[in-house]
């Protein structure tokens, strides 16, 4: 499945186990350069949570016992997804985390999905390398709008990608970002814009990918 291809697998990661001390965890974090790493159980199979460098530093600055187990400062114990989770679940769960833990079908730790991997996937879906112009089109969001927009555009150009925004933000406005195929000319672009606006779809922004490459 697609999510599995984006995950950094357990065997390639820096982790600690529940028996490691805070002192040992800090040494591992400093040598790895990561700001947080997963905590696993002694079997190295079960995800327990994350340990953050900043929390250990704060604990140390307050003269806390550095020989306490790493689980003393465990965070994000419930922040995980499964390899078969939907992308909607991924987006809602990862939020401000540097990564989200991924569990396999047996609830064992499989790896992590990072923000950078997720952003890379989104940039690929944008299809900027194969596009010419990105149109931001405003519509009312009523049934059939997307079908009508794509029908108009496809008469003149292939559609390289399509992303719809503002689904939950405003009941009356939807923004649809459509990337036109790389061989779309400026004349064809102008025709598409004219046809869209004749049907009461407002093109609020045009990004020229050709000039940006």
Of 62, 85, 120, which closes a domain?
120
Task: Please give the distance of CA 102 from its chain centroid, rounded to a whole number.
Answer: 14
Of 120, 152, 185, which closes a domain?
120
Outline where the chain has alpha helix (H).
Answer: 2-6, 22-32, 53-61, 87-94, 115-126, 145-154, 186-198, 209-212
Please check whether residues 115 and 160 belong to one and the same domain: no
Q: How far is CA 114 from CA 36, 61, 68, 88, in A?
A: 12, 29, 28, 15
Structure tokens at 30: 């400093």
> 98: domain range?
2-120
CATH at 189: 3.30.70.260
Q: What average pLDDT does this structure show over 143-169?
A: 86
Q: State pLDDT tens for residues 9-33.
A: 999 999 999 999 999 999 999 999 9
Statement: residue 127 has pLDDT above 90: no
At residue 20, φ and ψ (nearest 5 deg) are -65, 145
Q: What is the predicted pLDDT for the residue at 105? A: 93
Q: State pLDDT tens for residues 65-84.
A: 999 999 999 999 999 999 98
Q: What is the predicted pLDDT for the residue at 54? A: 97
Q: What is the predicted pLDDT for the residue at 52? A: 98
Q: What average pLDDT does this structure show over 94-105?
A: 90
pTM: 0.69
Q: What is the predicted pLDDT for the residue at 93? A: 83
Q: What average pLDDT does this structure show over 99-107?
A: 95
In whole angstroms, give the CA distance from residue 188 to residue 183.
10
Q: What is the predicted pLDDT for the residue at 7? A: 92
Beta-carbon count within 10 A of 43 CB: 10
Q: What is the predicted pLDDT for the residue at 193? A: 96
Please check whether residues 111 and 28 belong to one and the same domain: yes
Please check whether residues 98 and 164 belong to one and the same domain: no
Please check whether residues 114 and 137 belong to one and the same domain: no
CATH at 48: 3.10.580.10
Q: How confident is the model at residue 63 (pLDDT cuts 50, 70, 90)?
A: very high
Beta-carbon count within 10 A of 155 CB: 10
Statement: residue 167 has pLDDT above 60: no
Please check whether residues 113 and 194 belong to one and the same domain: no
Total domain count, the chain? 2
Please check whether residues 149 and 173 belong to one and the same domain: yes
In whole angstroms, give the CA distance from residue 19 to residue 17.
5
Statement: residue 171 has pLDDT above 70: no
Please check whether residues 8 and 85 belong to one and the same domain: yes
């Amino acid at each position: 499945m697609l999510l599995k291809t984006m995950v950094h697998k357990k065997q390639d990661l820096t982790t600690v186990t529940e028996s490691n001390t805070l002192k040992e965890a800090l040494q591992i974090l400093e040598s790895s350069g990561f700001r947080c790493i997963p905590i696993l159980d002694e079997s190295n199979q079960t995800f327990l949570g994350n340990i953050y460098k900043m929390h250990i530093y704060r604990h140390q600055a307050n003269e806390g016992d550095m020989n306490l187990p790493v689980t003393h400062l465990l965070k994000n114990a419930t922040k995980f997804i499964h390899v078969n989770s939907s992308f909607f679940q991924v987006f809602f769960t990862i939020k401000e985390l540097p990564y989200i833990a991924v569990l396999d079908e047996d609830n064992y730790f499989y790896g992590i999905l990072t923000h950078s991997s997720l952003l890379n996937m989104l940039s690929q879906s944008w299809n900027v390398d194969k596009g010419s112009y990105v149109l931001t089109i405003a519509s009312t969001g009523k049934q059939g709008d997307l079908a009508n927009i794509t029908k108009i555009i496809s008469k003149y150009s292939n559609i390289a990608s399509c992303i719809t925004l503002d689904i939950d933000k405003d009941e009356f406005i939807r923004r649809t970002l459509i990337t036109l195929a790389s061989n779309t000319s400026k004349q064809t672009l102008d025709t598409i814009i004219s046809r869209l606006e004749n049907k009461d779809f407002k093109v609020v922004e045009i990004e020229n990918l050709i000039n940006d490459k």
